Amino acid sequence: MRQGSHGPIGVFDSGVGGLTVLKALMTRLPHESTLYLGDTARVPYGTKSGEVVTRYSLKNAQFLLERGIKLLVVACNTASAVALPALSSALPVPVLGVIAPGARAALQRTKGGGVGVIGTPGTIKSGAYQRELQAAEPHVRVKARACPLFVPLAEEGWTVGEVPHLVAREYLADFAREGVDTLVLGCTHYPLLKGVIAEVVGPSMALVDSAEATAEAVAELLTQRELLAPEGSPTTHGYYVTDVPERFVEVGARFLGRPIPSAEQVDLSF
């Protein structure tokens, strides 16, 4: 069921990380209602096959579509890398992932043509950001690195201090030496560590937050399709999870930057 401009924006992720995308959407589009689905029963997606991730993604999308969304944001980097074509073909509403907006923003920011991409092992191994960057600009130089420890640090709230600084320095100290002037935060957890990442790479390196770039892409698409909610429209924000919601509500508040009043557990098993 579609509700035109009055329908909510649907967002799904495998867990809490996509809440940074939701936060960016709420900031950029404060008049829009949203529905967020975290597939916490099957997190992480990065260790699963493309076929399985696509199947989960289609199920998530159908759940949100049945609740009247007018646009779908795939906030999971892994699902964006492998499931976007299937979702775009199957859904009657626009579908946006987080990879293309982040890559476009990086190409707009780089001055010397050296772009770094950091993400989970699954995202980096997929090569999705590398392909997106080089398809748009064949001469761009891309340095990609997996930073797996950033995810547990973000979820545990270890985002400042000596421990995250040492980890970030281990991962990122050589980026500037290799001619990288723009760094894509290619995981939805990484915005929580933006401060410590910026300290390590220095002020001359531009940081591209894929969440913010995605929110800007959503705003542009809604404007083009004349689907923006009218100013002054009442807004609602709903949260669904596929496992018990207590940890999602607790940890998710750090990612969203505001309390999550409650989340409803739903069964998407098949």
Q: Which residue numbers are catalytic? A: 76, 187
What is the spatial distance between Cα 70 and Cα 34, in angstroms, rounded to a whole number? 10
* Cα radius of gyration rounded to whole Å, the chain: 18
State how beta strands 206-209 and 34-38 pair.
Answer: unpaired
DSSP string, the chain: ---GGGSPEEEEESSSTTHHHHHHHHHH-TT--EEEEE-TTS--STTS-HHHHHHHHHHHHHHHHTTT-SEEEE--HHHHHHTHHHHHHH-SS-EEESHHHHHHHHHHH-SSSEEEEEE-HHHHHHTHHHHHHHHH-TT-EEEEEE-TTHHHHHHHT--SSHHHHHHHHHHHTTTGGGT--EEEE-STTGGGGHHHHHHHH-TTSEEEEHHHHHHHHHHHHHHHTT-PPPTT----EEEEESS-SHHHHHHHHHHHTS-----EE-----
Residues in the chain: 270
Return the structure tokens found at 129.
């950001």
